[in-house]
Amino acid sequence: MNLEFWADPICPFCWITARWIVDDVAPERDLDVTWKPISLFLKNEPDEDSEYFTRMFFTHRLLRVMESVRAAADTPEQGNEAFFKLYWQAGTWIHHDENLDFTAAELLEAVGLDASHAAAFDDEALDAAVRDGMDEGLALVGNDVGTPILAVDRSDGTKAAYFGPVINKVPPKDKGLAMWDGLVAMMEVDSFFELKRTRTGGLVFGDRPA
């Protein structure tokens, strides 16, 4: 099964969901994950005096770099893998090391990619690629959502997507796999839209990726 996953490196809930998918679900459910950009900076348009402005603008510019590397790849598979490597490293630094001071060049070098793509960090021309990728996801779920967005092909061949699941820690593997199976089942139902409860407890990122 192919899973499309829209991510912004700044979102901690997105990061936890990504770890759940990558570490637990993908190996057990034979998922091929295609990574897509969603920029909370473009979507939420925070005011310059907002506490979120600098953080969101930083990872928005990282998404430019990720799209630059994707576009330069020889194949879509290579581009997707490069996007994932950059997202995974950025997420590790941001959420586990509480580091937002690294440069695009340092990020590229850390995962063995051409540091010349660091120029994309300040290249506004790449905003179109980020926005196009984001709009593709929002077209499936609507605008009143955030990240993560997950999409799969249903049994009838149509595509379905949801915002979420929003989790504050990766569940035990057996429960996490059951949650995935339930999510896939709900995607088959056109009339299902939402489950929600008030969040409690803090964020638990788990062990730092190696």
Structural domain span for residue 77: 2-187
Residue 199: inside a domain? no
Would 160 be classed as within a structural domain? yes
Q: What is the CATH number of the domain that holds 61?
A: 3.40.30.10
DSSP string of the chain? -EEEEEE-TT-HHHHHHHHIIIIIIHHHHTPEEEEEE--HHHHH---TTSTTHHHHHHHHHHHHHHHHHHHHSSSHHHHHHHHHHHHHHHHIIIIIS------HHHHHHHTT--GGGGGGGG-GGGHHHHHHHHHHHHHHH-SS--S-EEEEE-TTS-EEEEE----SSPPPHHHHHHHHHHHHHHHT-TT---------S-----SPP-
Is 52 among the domain residues? yes
Write down the pLDDT at residue 107. 98
Q: Is residue 84 part of a domain?
A: yes
Domains held by the chain: number? 1
In a domain, 196, yes or no: no
pLDDT by 10s per residue, the chain, length 210: 999 999 999 999 999 999 999 999 999 999 999 999 999 999 999 999 998 999 999 999 999 999 999 999 999 999 999 999 999 999 999 999 999 999 999 999 999 999 999 999 999 999 999 999 999 999 999 998 889 999 999 999 999 999 999 999 999 999 999 999 999 999 999 898 888 888 888 999 999 998
Residue 200 lies in a domain: no
24 domain residue, yes or no: yes
What pLDDT score was predicted for residue 35?
Answer: 98
198, part of any domain: no
Q: Would you say the pTM of this structure is higher than 0.85?
A: yes
